[in-house]
């Protein structure tokens, strides 16, 4: 069973291969994304994060999930030498860490329901578990940042997370989905494979902000592999990346 | 009294002899150790020490064989790990270190300083000629590889890419959906 809905402003897709998947169970997982969006969206006036940013809620009175996200964001800031930071122009925007965390938790909901073979994909960041409907590892394509209809690499993965941070070229204009107006010109796309989607997403975001040095950062992270595409259509990849590549 | 004096004289001369004998033994040992170190090709005890005077280490003194031993793809270490730890300001430029014996071969690095900070370190030379060196390198050295991107068949289950919907788009989508109610 497979379904896609637009949640948190992006397509969220669930696919469960195992028998027993049903509409109510999928609703439960999709509803989790709705819950996360209501709490953490800086675009919603009444979200908890908006109220914290306006000073209506003190940090000590924040919910447990909010405190956890702040803790995880601070940990990531330190582990990335400050390249990951949720503080922007005087407000706190934790969306860079919330997404991967939400996908990971959604996958955990499916796992606790007893499912083994499934994936959760939110806006191109993926938690893959078990095998696909042909009994193979999941085939994950890396999108071409120069042509969104094209795939430039096929990965074969199971029980791990895959996340891509990047920009897209539209004609001659480079467009950064995470931050309009910011100029990132050297590298266009950085895909990270990690132990889970939370880990892959936060380090993809942090490493992308480092520019060309980002792939070195991933090389030195134990348990992570990366594939970086630069403005000259050259890809640079880490030592262990090739073992995930499907040679079709 | 005289007896005790002669005794002490005897002890004194004997002490001098002992001193010279032990000094000779220590000197001989040191000389032997230096000799061994200079002639031994692998530098046995000399782990992680500079080996400029290596007698039989041709690769150390011959720049041509150095160049061939070093992999054509010089490896880079991320500056992010290095620059944060040092507060010292350096002069801008590129600096090469000496060939250093790291037990399994010679390593030579080049440091680049930008804006007074260490911005990158490159391995100009590292052991790649021997099987053990290659094994050690495959674990210890970064080994980034490059290729030109190429379109693949679209036969995949899932696609990973940067999120297509920007936050601006999200905001506009939400207000659009709100007005659609």
pLDDT in tens, chain A (248 residues): 999 998 988 889 999 999 999 999 999 999 999 999 999 998 899 999 999 999 999 989 999 999 999 999 999 999 988 888 888 777 888 888 999 999 999 999 999 999 999 999 999 999 999 999 999 999 999 999 988 889 999 999 999 999 999 887 765 566 666 665 555 578 999 999 999 999 999 999 999 988 899 999 999 999 999 999 999 999 999 999 999 999 75
Give the number of other Cβ atoms within 10 Å of residue A40's Cβ.
24
pLDDT confidence of residue B168: 43
Inter-chain contact A154–B78, Cβ cutoff 8 Å? no
Inter-chain contact B174–A43, Cβ cutoff 8 Å? yes
Q: In which element (H, E) is residue A141 found?
A: strand A138-144
pLDDT confidence of residue B114: 72
**B100, two tokens:** 């250093």
Give, as one character, the DSSP assignment of residue B43.
Answer: -
Whether the pLDDT of residue B9 is over 60: the answer is no
pLDDT confidence of residue B51: 34
Most B CBs within 10 Å, among A38, A43, A136, to test the B interface? A43
pLDDT confidence of residue A9: 80
Which A residues 162-181 touch B at CB under 8 Å?
162-168, 175-178, 180
Whether the pLDDT of residue B83 is over 50: the answer is no
Contacts of B173 in chain A (CB under 8 A): 6, 9
Inter-chain contact B170–A141, Cβ cutoff 8 Å? no
Whether the pLDDT of residue B96 is over 80: the answer is no
In whole angstroms, what is the distance from residue A246 CA to residue A155 CA? 5
pLDDT confidence of residue B57: 34
Instruction: Let me know how long chain B is.
Output: 181
Rounded mean pLDDT of B60-89? 40
Confidence (pTM)? 0.65
Residue for token pair 């990690």: A194
pLDDT confidence of residue B66: 36
Contacts of B143 in chain A (CB under 8 A): 219, 239
CA A191 from chain centre, in angstroms, equals 10
In whole angstroms, what is the distance from residue B97 CA to residue A242 CA? 33
Contacts of A81 in chain B (CB under 8 A): 80-81, 84
CA B106 from chain centre, in angstroms, equals 9
Mean pLDDT computed over every residue of chain B: 57
Rounded mean pLDDT of B163-167? 55
B62 confidence band (pLDDT: 50, 70, 90): very low
| Predicted complex: ipTM over 0.85 | yes
Rounded mean pLDDT of B33-45? 54
In whole angstroms, what is the distance from residue B140 CA to residue B124 CA? 15
Whether the pLDDT of residue B104 is over 70: the answer is no
Rounded mean pLDDT of B126-140? 49
Contacts of A217 in chain B (CB under 8 A): 78, 80-81
- Taking the CA of residue A214 and the nearest CA in chain B, the distance in Å comes to 8
Least confident of A199-208, B151-160, B162-171: B162-171
Inter-chain contact A9–B165, Cβ cutoff 8 Å? yes
CA atoms A67, A69, A72, A77: torsion sign: negative
pLDDT confidence of residue A102: 97
Output helix, strand, coil percentages for chain B, rounded to the nearest 5.
Answer: 45, 20, 35
A164 versus B110: the higher-pLDDT residue is A164
**Side-chain half-sphere exposure of B164, counting CA atoms within 13 A:** 16
pLDDT confidence of residue B6: 44
pLDDT confidence of residue A181: 57
Q: Is B143 on the interface with A (CB under 8 A)?
A: yes
Query: Which residue segments constitute the domains of chain A, with CATH numbers given?
Result: 12-244 (3.10.520.10)
- Taking the CA of residue B50 and the nearest CA in chain A, the distance in Å comes to 27
Q: Is B163 on the interface with A (CB under 8 A)?
A: yes
């Amino acid at each position: 069973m497979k379904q896609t809905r637009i949640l948190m402003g992006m397509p969220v897709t669930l696919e469960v291969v195992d028998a027993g998947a049903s509409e109510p169970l999928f609703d439960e997982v999709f509803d989790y994304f709705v819950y996360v969006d209501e709490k953490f969206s800086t675009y919603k006036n009444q979200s908890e994060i908006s109220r914290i940013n306006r000073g209506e809620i003190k940090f000590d009175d924040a919910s447990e999930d909010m405190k956890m996200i702040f803790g995880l964001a601070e940990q990531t800031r330190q582990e990335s030498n400050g390249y990951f930071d949720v503080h922007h122009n005087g407000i706190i925007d934790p969306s860079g860490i919330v997404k991967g965390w939400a996908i990971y938790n959604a996958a955990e909901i499916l796992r606790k329901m007893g499912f083994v073979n499934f994936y959760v994909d939110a806006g191109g960041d993926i938690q893959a578990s078990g095998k696909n409907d042909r009994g193979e590892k999941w085939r994950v394509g890396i999108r071409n940042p120069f042509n969104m209809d094209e795939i430039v690499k096929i990965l074969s993965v199971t029980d791990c997370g895959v996340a891509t941070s990047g920009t897209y070229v539209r004609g001659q204009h480079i467009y950064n989905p995470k931050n309009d107006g910011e100029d990132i010109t050297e590298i266009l796309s950085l895909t990270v494979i990690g132990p889970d989607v939370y880990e892959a997403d936060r380090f993809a975001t942090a490493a992308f902000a480092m520019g060309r040095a980002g792939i070195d950062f991933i090389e030195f992270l134990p348990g992570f592999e990366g594939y970086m595409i630069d403005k000259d259509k050259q890809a640079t990849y880490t030592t262990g990346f090739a073992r995930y590549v499907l040679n079709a | 009294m005289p007896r005790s004096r002669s005794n002490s004289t005897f002890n004194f001369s004997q002490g001098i002899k002992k001193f010279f004998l032990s000094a000779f033994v220590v000197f001989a040992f040191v000389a032997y150790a230096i000799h061994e170190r200079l002639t031994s090709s692998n530098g046995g005890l000399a782990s992680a020490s500079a080996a400029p005077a290596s007698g039989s280490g041709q690769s150390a003194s011959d720049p041509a064989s150095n160049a061939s031993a070093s992999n054509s793809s010089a490896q880079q270490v991320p500056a992010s790990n290095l620059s944060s730890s040092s507060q010292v300001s350096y002069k801008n430029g590129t600096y090469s270190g000496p060939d250093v014996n790291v037990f399994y071969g010679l390593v030579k690095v080049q440091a680049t300083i930008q804006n007074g900070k260490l911005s990158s370190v490159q391995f100009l030379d590292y052991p790649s000629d021997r099987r053990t060196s290659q094994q050690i390198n495959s674990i210890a050295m970064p080994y980034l590889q490059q290729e030109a991107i190429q379109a693949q068949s679209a036969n995949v289950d899932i696609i990973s890419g940067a999120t297509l919907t920007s936050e601006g788009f999200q905001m506009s989508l939400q207000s659009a959906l709100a007005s659609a109610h």
